[in-house]
Amino acid sequence: MTKKWWHDKVAYQIYPKSFYDSNGDGIGDIPGIISKLDYLHDLGVDIVWLSPCYKSPLADQGYDISDYYSIDPRFGTMEDMENLIAEAKKRNMYILMDLVVNHCSDEHEWFQKACQDPEGKYGNFFYLRDKKEGELPTNWRSYFGGPVWEDLPGTGKQYLHVFHKKQPDLNWENPELREEVYKNINWWLDKGLAGFRIDAIINIKKALPFRNYAPDREDGLCSINEMLKEAKGIGEFLGEMRDRTFKKYDAFSVGEVFNEKPEEIPDFIGEDGYFSSMFDFNETIFGASGKGWYDAAQISPDDYRNCCFESQRKVGETGFLSNIIENHDEPRGVSRYIPEGDCCLESKKMLAALNFMLRGLPFIYQGQELGMENVSFSSIDEVDDISSLDEYKVALEAGLTPEEALKAVARFSRDNARTPMQWSDEANAGFTTGSPWLKVNPNYTAINAAAQLSDPDSVWNFYKKLIALRKNPAYKETIVYGALEPVWEERHNLMAYYRKGDRTLLVIGNYQQKEQEVILPSECRKVLLNNYPDMVMENNVLKLHGYQVLILEL
């Protein structure tokens, strides 16, 4: 495999609105990010991905872009963005932006022009269909609820939106649209961006001609996935985009890819793949139900391990997955993957190490390095996220009481990850001097960066050690390129694997409160990381404490 500049890096996702507010308006901003670059550098982060900060009405918090060439004033100016790129460079860091091109905002100029003249050039930038009274062009349900069709204002037509109605889908079949997308990507890469995280990209290819599928809920609609399963030929778009943009710049690209088939992996992330990498969502989608969040199954430690290993086996050494335990669309990893009641310092560190040492590129989501947890909502009025609001409705319609519906939604709400970053125990967790756009998790007095930086046993310092280990010249080859081999897979509540390269490492996590014993297959040469002060071993029998994690060199 040809070595790439990004293989040995560590990435970090920033959700700008909730990261750090520099001017007291309650909204995080780019100057705020710049002021925290040293914090990230100190942790050991190399690549920083920013969720969208382009001009946007923020109907979906910036994933609805009204101008791809400007920064939303709430987040700062273009000059701020240029400063950020320059300041990152000074620290040998790289900035990625979010590429949101399955759809734009209904406030984008293209959409406005399509409304004015649906038969003209810009009408063909979208999927428009003639409106028929009492009948929709298709019965697909949007990801955020309700039909995917909405009236195109001032015309006798309707437009397609697989997400919110303020996010009209762009017509990738139209070469003129594709040109506009490539032009924009190259414009940003010319500014010195290192690459992009690519949003919702699997939706750009639609199965044509449009048709209905069997309804799967009382609403008579069907999941978008039915149509996507039938859509063939996305590779032509993705390959063209790679060749016209990323490849020329040796840029890094990571795709938000769901439901890929094993045989497609080489095309997506192999040597000359469409993307440098793609996220592993196997754990994220575990237990999901077609009925809605309220019906989703809880993931167990064994499920978590099996999901990770399944992805690792699927990809093998074909390419590099990007590994996450959370992002801005998911609940906090420690609240989700650690059994209820067991979330503590040790279990948080265990989860961190088990995930971080997988083969692939580790991504840390803001606050993950502090062990930030889900927030509790006392009423649906405290919820901002459009997806959570829809799921609440779905749960009520399914017959849940308002309390049950709130509980179901709270478990998965995207707002869990979007509460402001907890910098200190000062007012509003030190995130803003004003009033924060979304409520701060009240546990900030206990969980915050200021306290953790100075505490050698904090989650933050554990992440710092994990990053330092990945970069340690003695182990780097093995951690970055070494093969992953699962061990003791039949054991209950135990996750363990080898990383084998020029050295042999063994990662072992006791995924439960009870002690557990394992017999080491060979002599332990060195303990590289331990989330306890001690390691109890007699002969080769290792007695693991509850939630103990060890990284050993054998």
Q: At what angle do helices 459-471 and 345-356 cross, to 10 degrees?
A: 20
- 11, 37, 53, 200: residue in contact with ligand GLC (rule CB under 6 A): 200
Active-site residue among 256, 326, 346, 369? 256
Residue with tokens 């590289």: 528
Cβ proximity of 202 and 259 under 8 Å = yes
Binding-site partner at residue 21 among Ca ion, ligand GLC, none, CB < 5 to 8 Å by type? Ca ion
Report the distance separating Cα 160 and Cα 147, nearest Å: 9
- 329, 384, 404, 553: residue in contact with ligand GLC (rule CB under 6 A): 329
Binding-site partner at residue 163 among Ca ion, ligand GLC, none, CB < 5 to 8 Å by type? ligand GLC
Query: Which 7-46 positions form the footprint of Ca ion (CB under 5 A)?
Result: 21, 23, 25, 27, 29
CA 375 from centroid of its chain's CA atoms: 18
- 6, 19, 54, 63: residue in contact with ligand GLC (rule CB under 6 A): 63
Our CB check for Ca ion shows the closer of 32 and 137 to be: 32
Report the distance separating Cα 546 and Cα 539, nearest Å: 20
Our CB check for Ca ion shows the closer of 23 and 522 to be: 23
Size of interface with ligand GLC, in residues (CB under 6 A):
9
Residue with tokens 């042999």: 504
Our CB check for Ca ion shows the closer of 21 and 415 to be: 21
For residue 219, CA distances in Å to 145, 155, 409 come to: 10, 26, 20
Our CB check for Ca ion shows the closer of 21 and 369 to be: 21
199 is catalytic: yes
100 binds ligand GLC (CB under 6 A): yes
For residue 377, CA distances in Å to 32, 368, 382, 388, 431 come to: 27, 20, 6, 12, 20
The 3-state DSSP class for residue 254 equals strand
Binding-site partner at residue 329 among ligand GLC, Ca ion, none, CB < 5 to 8 Å by type? ligand GLC
Residue with tokens 């992805």: 311
163 binds ligand GLC (CB under 6 A): yes
Question: Nearest residue by C-beta to Ca ion?
Answer: 29
Binding-site partner at residue 55 among ligand GLC, Ca ion, none, CB < 5 to 8 Å by type? none
384 binds ligand GLC (CB under 6 A): no
- Residues 6+ positions from 183 with CB-CB distance below 8 Å: none
Active-site residue among 64, 106, 199, 283? 199
Our CB check for ligand GLC shows the closer of 166 and 503 to be: 166
Report the distance separating Cα 266 and Cα 272, nearest Å: 8
The HSE-up count of residue 404 (CA atoms within 13 Å, CB side) is: 10
Residue with tokens 């990053």: 467
Our CB check for ligand GLC shows the closer of 60 and 415 to be: 60
Binding-site partner at residue 100 among Ca ion, ligand GLC, none, CB < 5 to 8 Å by type? ligand GLC
Report the distance separating Cα 402 and Cα 256, nearest Å: 33
For residue 301, CA distances in Å to 204, 206, 329, 414, 493 come to: 35, 36, 21, 22, 6
410 binds Ca ion (CB under 5 A): no
The residues of the shown chain that bind Ca ion, judged by CB under 5 A, are 21, 23, 25, 27, 29
The residues of the shown chain that bind ligand GLC, judged by CB under 6 A, are 60, 63, 100, 163, 199-200, 256, 328-329
What residues act catalytically?
Answer: 199, 256
